[in-house]
Amino acid sequence: MPIDKDVVEEIVKKYGFHDKDTGSPEVQIAILTERIKNLTRHFQENKHDNYNKRALQRLVGRRKKLLKYLKEKDFNRYQNIVLKLGLRK
């Protein structure tokens, strides 16, 4: 489930270091979290959508790898993004 361009721009403004920052781990994690939330809402109505269940697993795995990378690189930034997004880490 794609997310709107406006939502992505808001995420970049909130978590990025500058207006065009889409590559920093914080922004990528926030965008993946938004996509995961959208898919979770989708599954409340469509429980047997196996194709998107696989997509959800891939998104969660990618977010997990980015969180691990950020935790190893800069633990303070890791803690900050986890608190802002309300993740259970």
pLDDT at 1: 65
Domains within the chain, CATH numbers bracketed: 5-85 (1.10.287.10)
Three-state DSSP at 21 gives coil
pLDDT of residue 88: 77
Q: What is the Cα–Cα distance from 38 to 1, expressed in whole angstroms? A: 7
In the chain (89 residues long), the average pLDDT of successive 10-residue segments reads 89 93 95 96 92 94 97 96 88
User: At residue 17, what are phi and psi to the nearest 5 degrees?
Assistant: -85, -25
Amino acid code (one letter) for 57: Q
Q: Cα separations (Å) of 70 from 48, 80, 86?
A: 34, 11, 16
As given in the structure block, the two tokens for residue 48 are 């047997």
